[in-house]
Amino acid sequence: MEGAQPKQKLFSAVQPSGAVTIGNYIGAIRNFAVLQDEYDCLYAVADLHAITVRQEPAVLRRNTLELLALFIACGIDPEKCVLFVQSHVPAHCELTWVLNTIAYLGELSRMTQFKDKSARHAENVNMGLMDYPVLMASDILLYQAALVPVGADQKQHLELTRDLAVRFNNRYGSTFTVPEPFIPKGSGARVMSLADPSRKMSKSDENPNAFVTMSDDRDTVLRKFKRAVTDSDAEVRYDPENKPGVSNLLTIYCAFTGRDTAEAEREFAGKGYGDFKLAVGEAVADVLDPIRAEKARLLADKGYLNAVMKRGEEAAARIARRTLSKVYRKVGFYAGE
């Protein structure tokens, strides 16, 4: 249509580091399918980021394919967006090296995630852990992304990305779009552990009943919700301070049914926690069942997934190469006459 504004570019990436929880789904992946209709979206399987923590090579390869299949099963359409594997586009590493020369040791060592991961993986405090935010900046800046969906744990990294973009632009002239954080509608739901609602749901929890993954079958989902921590008061009411377990279950129920909290409270008025927990489990299972089936179908068609990866790699590389060529000229690399 004449005069139509071009869509803003939006970039996001997810690491293929094993099980994806329903918290990851609610907070990020399910929004990807919605955003692809409103923005010019690029979605990456961030396998380069994954190896900052030791990985079994065969497992990493399998997880990469599984995450790609999960993306598509959740409604991400490779025809509407650029869907690719990060390591397939060498420009990510190439731009990281250039940005390393304007990133300072002090700002990288202050990153909260670096401190946390260094404490958790004391036997493997590698330079990749420290340099992770510079690679993340390259991921975003390569594609001139205007918008980046971020959770609380990545806000600091996006701030560094913005700082590096501004620093480079000031030193070499206008080169990078300075990205803005983007909070999708309905993404504010924070999913907590089913066993300890004071902590965020995490796949690394030692208690397997504390989290629900996108691969859990219906019986497993129902069993985990049946065991979810509540309280001694029998009222289903949203009160995170006094009733964190029940409030977390209400958050999950509303996220998977589209109801608001007031509607859910009315629905369960006068009902016991047993009925409530079963209803939450069934609501989650009803959404996960078709996704799990579609993911299995896709994984059985490796030819299709390989074709998606190849097409995504080519589209991403074209955009990335334009930016990288500009960067190389700006910093003074000789490219021949």
Rounded to whole angstroms, the Cα distance separating 155 from 159 reads: 6
In a domain, 231, yes or no: yes
Beta bridge pairs of residue 83: 43
CB 92 within 8 A of CB 141: no
Give the phi and the psi of residue 166 in degrees, each rounded to 5: -65, -40
In a domain, 3, yes or no: no
- In the block, tokens 């409530």 appear at 276
| Spans of the chain, pLDDT less than 70 | 1-4, 114-115, 118-119, 121, 152-153, 184-188, 337
User: Tens digit of pLDDT for each residue in 113-139?
Assistant: 766 776 676 777 788 888 999 999 999
In a domain, 4, yes or no: no
User: 117 an active-site residue?
Assistant: yes
The total of structural domains in the chain comes to: 2
Residues 310, 262, single domain; the answer is no
Angle CA(80)–CA(184)–CA(284) in degrees, nearest 5?
Answer: 85
Residues 176, 250, single domain; the answer is no
> Comparing C-alpha atoms, which of 41, 56, 107 is closest to residue 319?
41
Burial of 30 (0-12, 13-18, 19+ CB in 10 A): buried
Q: Which region, left, alpha or beta, applies to residue 268 given φ > 0 means left and ψ of -120 to 50 means alpha?
A: alpha
Given the residues 7, 115, 155, 200, the one annotated as active site:
200
Residues 27, 163, single domain; the answer is yes
Residues 307, 228, single domain; the answer is no
Residues 167, 266, single domain; the answer is no
User: 203 an active-site residue?
Assistant: yes
Residues 33, 92, single domain; the answer is yes
In a domain, 278, yes or no: yes
Given the residues 203, 226, 326, 330, the one annotated as active site:
203
Residues 284, 148, single domain; the answer is no
User: 295 an active-site residue?
Assistant: no
Q: Report residue 334 as tokens.
A: 């000789």
Three-class SS state of 255: helix
Given the residues 7, 9, 80, 117, the one annotated as active site:
117
User: Tens digit of pLDDT for each residue in 25-63?
Assistant: 998 899 999 999 999 999 999 999 999 888 999 999 999
- pLDDT value, residue 155: 79
CA pseudo-torsion sign 247, 230, 226, 195: positive
In a domain, 199, yes or no: no
In a domain, 193, yes or no: no
- C-alpha distances out from residue 216 to 7, 126, 213, 234, 329, Å: 36, 33, 5, 28, 50
Residues 223, 238, single domain; the answer is yes
Angle CA(18)–CA(22)–CA(26) in degrees, nearest 5?
Answer: 120
Residues 107, 250, single domain; the answer is no
Residues 48, 109, single domain; the answer is yes
Beta bridge pairs of residue 84: 44
- pLDDT value, residue 1: 46
In a domain, 63, yes or no: yes
- pLDDT value, residue 106: 84
Which segments of 18-126 does DSSP mark as H helices, in order? 22-24, 30-35, 47-50, 57-73, 91-100, 105-109, 112-120
Q: Write the CATH number for 42.
A: 3.40.50.620
Q: Which 8-state DSSP code applies to residue 231?
A: -
Beta bridge pairs of residue 44: 13, 84
DSSP string, 13-42: EE---SPPBHHHIIIIIHHHHHHTTTSEEE
In a domain, 197, yes or no: no
- C-alpha distances out from residue 203 to 19, 22, 44, 210, Å: 6, 10, 20, 8
What range defines the domain where residue 263 resides?
208-296
Q: Write the CATH number for 251.
A: 1.10.240.10
Q: Could you tell me whether strands 40-45 and 9-14 are parallel, antiparallel, or unpaired per DSSP bridges?
A: parallel
- In the block, tokens 């006068």 appear at 270
Q: Report residue 171 as tokens.
A: 């030193």
Q: Helix and strand tally (H, E) in the chain?
A: 14, 5
